[in-house]
Structure formats: structure tokens, C-alpha cells
Amino acid sequence: MSKKTKKRFIAGAKCPECGAMDTLMLYFENNVEKLACVKCDYAETQTNDEVKAANKSNANVIGVFKPE
Ligand SMILES: [Zn+2]
């Protein structure tokens, strides 16, 4: 099974992590819309607010690495 992901950049979008412009790309993975920055490791799942909120609260659990 080919795992083709359609990625598209969001024009004018600013990465909340590194602050770079036009580096955010939107793509689908397992029918979930995801947002990722190509410059840094920023990634976010863009679905609905409920999942977004859950994703945010999970970030502390999943994000084991600490930027120091
Ligand atoms: Zn970034």
C-alpha cells in the first residue's frame, strides 16, 4: 500500500514555534489533518477543537523531550 501524503504549504502562515513564515505545511495522515513546520519540529493535529484540546493536554505527556 502506497503511503502518499498530500502536502501543501500554507501561504502567509507563521510557525508558532520558530516564527518562520511559509514553513507550515498541511497534510493528511490516517484521515487526520495535520500541521507541521519544515523548519523545526513543530507539529499539530488539526481536526476539531475537541481533539485539539485533547492533543494539547496530551502534549505534556507525549513530549518527553525538554527544550533546554
Ligand atoms: Zn517552525
Cell of 22: 511559509
Across residues 1-15, what is the average pLDDT? 79
CB distance 20 to 37 below 8 Å: yes
Q: Is residue 1 part of a domain?
A: no
Question: 7 by DSSP, 3-state: which?
Answer: strand
> What share of the chain has pLDDT > 70, as a percent?
59
Find the domain containing 39 and state its range. 7-50
Residues with CB under 5 A from ligand 1 (ion): 15, 17-18, 37, 39-40, 42
pLDDT, tens digit, 9 for 90 and up, residues 16-51: 999 999 999 998 888 888 899 999 999 988 655 555
Q: Is residue 66 part of a domain?
A: no
Q: Which residues of 3-18 are buried (b: 16+ CB within 10 A; e: fewer)?
A: eeeeeeeeeebebebe
The pLDDT assigned to 7 comes to 85
Task: Find the 45 Cα to ligand 1 centroid distance in Å.
Answer: 15
Domain count along the chain: 1
Q: Is residue 55 part of a domain?
A: no
